[in-house]
Each structure stands twice: as C-alpha cells, then as structure tokens.
Structure 1
C-alpha cells in the first residue's frame, strides 16, 4: 500500500489526494480526525488530543491519562501516520462534540489494520458507546459488526491488510456496512439513544486489548451515506481512501 504523510489543511488542488479531499470536506455534519502533526497534541510518543480536520470544534481526547495511543509517523504498509494501539493497556479516546445522534441518520467511517489480540479475546472494538449498546468492531467469528441494541449487521472481510469500513443508519430501522468500497450489507437494528462514544483499542472481556492501527476517522451526523441520495458522497469518501491510503474504492 502506498500512502502519504498528511499535515495541515489541503491547499494544492493539483495534488491528487488533496483534490480527492474537496468533496469529502463538503459533506454536511462531518467531523474528521487524522493523526497529522498539525492536528494532534503529543506528549512524548503519546497522542493526547486529535482535532477536527473539517474545522469544527470536535476532538478526540483520552478517556484517562493512561489511555493514549502512540503516534506512528510511518505506519506499516501505509506510508503515513496513524494511531498505534499497542495492545498494552486500555487505549481509548472520548469522541467530543461530534453531534453524533444514533436515533437519527448517521455514518461512521475509518481506516484500520489489526495486528493481533494480546489476550484470549478475539473481539476487537473500534467504536463504541457507554454500556456497549452501540458499537462497531470485529467479532469472534471474524466479521465486522455494527451493533445497535438487539440488532446487528455482520460483514466478512480480510483483516490481514489495511481496510476501510463505512457503517451507517437510516434513522428508522436499517443499518448498512461496507468494507473497502464493497457492496453494503444491510440489516435491521434497534433505533435507540446512545452516548459516551469512544474510539477504542479494547477487546471484549476484562483486561483484553488488541494491537493495530487506526486512521481517517470520520463521523457524519444526520446523513446515511449508503442511501441512494448520498451515492456521490459515499463515492467521494471511497475515492479519498484509495488515493491516500491505497484502500480499494470498490
């Protein structure tokens, strides 16, 4: 995979990955987090805050002072920066100010690569909420799952390489998940209120943590990008992931 080290805001429309960012930046309700040097605060090798590339007030901050992921300036197989969840302790970030409301339409997306689970638990959470009634992550069966209450959507994928995941909800009962630009899988989920959203390196069960890398976290409140009306926006997101991270756009 060939990638790019990103820093600051995109300014040169002639550079392919900067050109690819333009339609993504135009998506309403977007909060966008990348560990580029100008968008993060670092203490030693620990990332203590990520700021919104889309220019909003949203942030990612550690849920505790010992829960920071590491800054990886040159993540394996991607050629750019990433958050390194090292599998040592509970690495977790609070998602602040994104406006995410799981009772209405939303989309969440990120680029990631799992390395290993350092304890017996095979479950690997990426995004979650207080009480875990809402989460996105890898299951023991090796699927990517969006869970909302008693409903869930499961998608098979190849976790031996970097992948992108886009998970969305239409605001009523239908959720959709697509991996690396593939066709979305849909299912029926509960429409329920969740809060306390986190970006997480924690596996299910006490004391279980996974190792891997995360980049390009996007939270879009108020839009289901898998809806037909948002097809161009979803295509723009996939095109950006392919241009910058080498993840297939479908």
Structure 2
C-alpha cells in the first residue's frame, strides 16, 4: 500500500516540492542559526500574512505578492535592527504590521476562502507548477551566490568583526542572508505554512550543527534531514489522514529531542 501511494501524481509532486524546499531550508538554516537571526526570520514569516492579504485583495499571485512584501519587511527589519537593542521592538512592529494588514485585506477581499488556510498551515498535496518554477528559480539564484560568497559567509559566521578587518562587506552578506531567508519563508508556505516554516528552517540546521562544525557539511546534513522529515511526515499524514505540516514538524521535533539526548549522553560519556 505504501508503494502504491508513490505512484500517484500529486504525491510525486509533493515529494518533489519537499526536495526543493529541503535544499532551500538547508542552505538558509545554518546561516540563520550561526548568525542568530531566528527572531528576524520568525518576524518575517508572520509578516508574510500581509503578502497573502495583498494577493487576495488585488487578485494577484500569492507567491509574487508575498515575495515582494516579505523581502520588503525583511530589509526594513535588517536595516532598523542592526543595533541589537532595537531588534525586538522592530521585529514586533513589522510582525504586527504584516499580520494586521493581511487580516484587514482578507476581510475586505471578496476572494477570501479556505485557500488561505493552505498558506497558514501548509497544503503540500496541492502544490502547483508555479510553486515548482519559483523554487527552481530560487535555487538557481541562491546556490551560485552561496558558492561565490562562501568564504565571506564562513568568515562572517565565525567572526563578523574579523570579517570587517579583512575588508569583507559584512553588511552585504547580512542583507543577502536576510533576503534568502525571506525567499525561503515564502516558498515554504505551501509546504508547512507560515506558522511552522521557521521550524522547518531551524530544526534540521540545529541538529546538523550539533554534530558537524563545517558550514558546508551542516547544509548537506540539513538537506538530508529536512527531506526525510518532509517525506516521512507526508507518508504518515496520508496513511493516518492527519495534517501534513503537523506530522512533518512533530517528526522533526522528536528527532531533535533524540539528537539532543544523544549529544548530551556522548558528552557525559567522554567526560567520564
């Protein structure tokens, strides 16, 4: 019965979407955690509701409106919160602005329907061609940029002050990471929804960083873990008729707990 599900077109589309978003999340996740940008990405993820509201009100593509809106919000947060003392306040304001704007435009829209739930909580079984095209384009842009700026990324991640001494444009790297994060958030809306996308970005990266120190290998391990979480979460949700996004994230949380205990046990064993 398990293999029969894999023959269905919409299941194959969901698996392919899982692979693409897993690679995106794997590239972004370690960069976010190492640079301690999780709160910024969380703010952008919730502000994405504003982009959804814009698409409903004006009848335009959710992906394009959300991409533009999220990148706009991400850049504002990144610019205004460079002083860490302002970060929480700026994130809270942008978070509230995006959510309230999205809710207002949704109320005013005649196009409001259950489809909006697909972006709030994810609907991986309903992925469309435009989602695939957007993910492929994002990968074709982000992967080469990561290779081009890999040394700068590593240097900034290790020590941003030292990067400045080496005349590395740390601000440019910072804004690139924030923009990549916004793109990943929007493209992950269909998979797990804006409520849980930050978990899919951060949990596999957190697990990988427990066991590997190299940025490249953490991205590689994160990609494998993300895809496994998406694939098995998808299969569990289909077999037991459960919410796919919940199954994916709960599976990731369980594996995180196991990895954490293994790491702690190994550390204690080595000390003894």
Structure 1 or 2: larger helix share?
Answer: 2
Q: Which has the larger radius of gyration?
A: 2
Q: What is the TM-score when the length of structure 1 is the normalising length? A: 0.27
More strand by share: 1
